[in-house]
């Protein structure tokens, strides 16, 4: 029995025999068990992480230039050239600001926080998600609708930085030079231009709390979120070098812009200037005072110095969004069918029909997706179980599917 134990293969690291481990991996001159292999992997990952932690320094020559950033955005987002230019320059300047400490002069570059205004479905969140693929710094997207004042049901302001810490794997120096996109910033506007006499727990109070983050200060951040783990140790994070990009639909702000543009209605010059205004795209005339009239406090507007807008999508842009971007709606469905071995094709008339309906529904690019989803639902349900190599979506089929869905919804109502 002693001979049989002696002749068994053993792990060269821990010495256990093949009977005492899950399995042995055979090498040239020895063996390693599954347990030791896992430990070796973990040790390697930890060592590589420490090695790379200090090696992630930025180099100005390697950074993407503003034109390169915009060219990358052009592959995924149709139109919106003004917003892309503002975003590209701000992100590039953020990189340069991080490198500024290496210079010897006393000129200090301040943060250029951005606010993007545009109606729903024009691409604000898509721009943020796309630029995140290109960045060399931690990037996170947070939603302002869940934020409330401290002590009320909802999330505290500090939860914004909790998300950034998680993206940076709790590496505080990395998180302190990251970028945060705050979506739906218009949802924390106060209810009117005048200070409210009632409690506004998800409006003006949240804006006041955001001031210290946008300006730059040391904030104690709960690493696992504040409400459910009150015993956790706080992590101090300095927001001085964190770039904040805010986006919101600001539904109804066109009325504020129109009121401001028509403020002076006396005299010949007023008539001439009114004639030059594009009433179909008032968003391009947006100014900081319009944000104040909508319900943002002056202090927060001052901390978002870069104001840009997104144009409403016209018919040409909607048609291009369907097919041209790398992750276009049609390409996504073609890919889904391709995974089932089915070649999917659309008649050109279907694209025009989908665009017509999307313009009718006034939901922007999201409307395109919901219409195509409705048209393709029956096909996606049936075709995976059928032996088909190709499927062509005709105009008659698309019209029939959409009408059938609308009738079904009316019957359910």
Domains by residue range for the chain, with CATH: 2-53 (no CATH), 60-309 (3.40.50.300), 315-412 (1.10.8.60)
Q: What is the pLDDT of residue 187?
A: 86
Instruction: Extract long-range pairs of 226-230: CB within 8 Å, 24+ residues apart.
Output: 226/155, 226/156, 226/158, 226/159, 226/162, 227/155, 227/156
As a whole number, mean pLDDT of residues 262-288 equals 69
Residue 238 — φ and ψ, nearest 5°?
A: -90, 120
As a whole number, mean pLDDT of residues 234-256 equals 90
pLDDT tens-digit readout, 128-185? 888 888 887 889 999 888 887 665 666 778 888 998 999 888 899 989 988 899 998 9
Mean pLDDT over the full length of the chain: 83
Does the pLDDT value for residue 102 go beyond 70? Answer: no
Does the pLDDT value for residue 194 go beyond 70? Answer: no
Does the pLDDT value for residue 377 go beyond 90? Answer: yes
As a whole number, mean pLDDT of residues 252-260 equals 87
The half-sphere exposure of 290 on its side-chain side, counting CA atoms within 13 A, is 24
Going by pLDDT thresholds of 50, 70 and 90, the confidence category of residue 222 is: confident
Q: Which residue has the higher pLDDT, 33 or 279?
A: 33
Q: Say how many C-beta atoms besides its own lie within 10 A of residue 335's C-beta.
A: 11
As a whole number, mean pLDDT of residues 392-409 equals 86
pLDDT tens-digit readout, 14-68? 888 888 888 888 888 888 999 899 888 888 877 765 544 443 456 677 788 999 9
Of 111, 177, 104, 112, the residue nearest 138 (C-alpha)? 177
Q: What is the pLDDT of residue 84?
A: 94
Q: Say how many C-beta atoms besides its own lie within 10 A of residue 319's C-beta.
A: 18
Q: What's the rounded Cα separation, in Å, for the pair 360 and 372? A: 14
Contact (CB, 8 A) for 221 and 237 = yes
Residue 374 — φ and ψ, nearest 5°?
A: -65, -40
For 102-116, 118-132, 208-222, 299-313, which range has the lowest pLDDT when averaged over its residues? 102-116
Q: What is the pLDDT of residue 252?
A: 86
For 144-153, 244-253, 294-303, which range has the lowest pLDDT when averaged over its residues? 144-153
Q: What is the pLDDT of residue 3?
A: 47
Q: What is the pLDDT of residue 204?
A: 80
Q: What is the pLDDT of residue 199?
A: 52
Cα pseudo-dihedral 282, 284, 287, 292, rounded to 10: 50
Q: Which residue has the higher pLDDT, 60 or 304?
A: 304
Does the pLDDT value for residue 197 go beyond 60? Answer: no
Q: What is the pLDDT of residue 58?
A: 62
Burial label, 375 (beta-carbon count in 10 A; 0-12, 13-18, 19+): buried
């Amino acid at each position: 029995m002693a001979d049989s134990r002696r002749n068994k293969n053993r792990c060269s690291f821990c010495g256990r025999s093949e009977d005492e481990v899950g399995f042995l991996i055979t090498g040239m001159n020895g063996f390693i068990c599954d347990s030791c292999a896992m430990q070796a992997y973990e040790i390697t990952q930890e060592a590589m992480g420490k090695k790379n932690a200090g090696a992630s320094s930025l180099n100005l020559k390697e950074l993407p230039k503003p034109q390169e950033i915009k060219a990358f955005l052009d592959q995924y987002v149709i139109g919106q050239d003004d917003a892309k230019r503002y975003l590209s320059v701000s992100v590039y300047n953020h990189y340069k600001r991080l490198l500024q400490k290496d210079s010897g002069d006393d000129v200090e570059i301040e943060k250029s926080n951005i606010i993007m205004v545009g109606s729903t479905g024009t691409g604000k969140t898509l721009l943020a998600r796309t630029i995140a693929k290109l960045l060399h710094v931690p990037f996170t997207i947070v939603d302002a609708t869940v934020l409330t004042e401290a002590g009320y049901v909802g999330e505290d302001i500090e939860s914004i930085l909790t998300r950034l810490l998680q993206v940076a794997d709790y590496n505080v120096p990395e998180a302190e030079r990251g970028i945060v996109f705050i979506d739906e910033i218009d949802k924390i506007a106060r209810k009117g231009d005048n200070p409210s006499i009632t409690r506004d727990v998800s409006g003006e109070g949240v804006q006041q709390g955001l001031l210290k983050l946008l300006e730059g200060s040391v904030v104690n951040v709960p690493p696992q979120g504040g409400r459910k783990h009150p015993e956790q140790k706080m992590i101090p994070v300095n927001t001085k070098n964190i770039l904040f990009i805010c986006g919101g639909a600001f539904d109804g702000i066109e009325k504020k812009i129109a009121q401001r543009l028509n403020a002076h209605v006396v005299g010949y010059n007023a008539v001439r200037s009114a004639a030059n205004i594009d009433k179909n795209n008032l968003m391009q005339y947006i100014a900081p005072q319009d944000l104040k009239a909508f319900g943002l406090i002056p202090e927060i507007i001052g901390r978002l110095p870069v104001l840009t807008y997104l144009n409403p999508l016209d018919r040409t842009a909607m048609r291009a969004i369907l097919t041209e971007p790398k992750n276009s709606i049609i390409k996504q469905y073609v890919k889904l069918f391709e995974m089932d071995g089915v070649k999917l094709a659309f008649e050109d008339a279907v694209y025009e029909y989908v665009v017509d309906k999307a313009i009718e529904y006034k939901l922007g690019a999201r409307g395109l997706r919901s219409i195509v989803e409705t048209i393709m639902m029956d096909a996606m349900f049936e075709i995976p179980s059928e032996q088909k190599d190709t499927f062509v979506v005709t105009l008659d089929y698309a019209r029939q599917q959409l009408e059938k869905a609308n009738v079904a919804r009316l019957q359910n109502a």
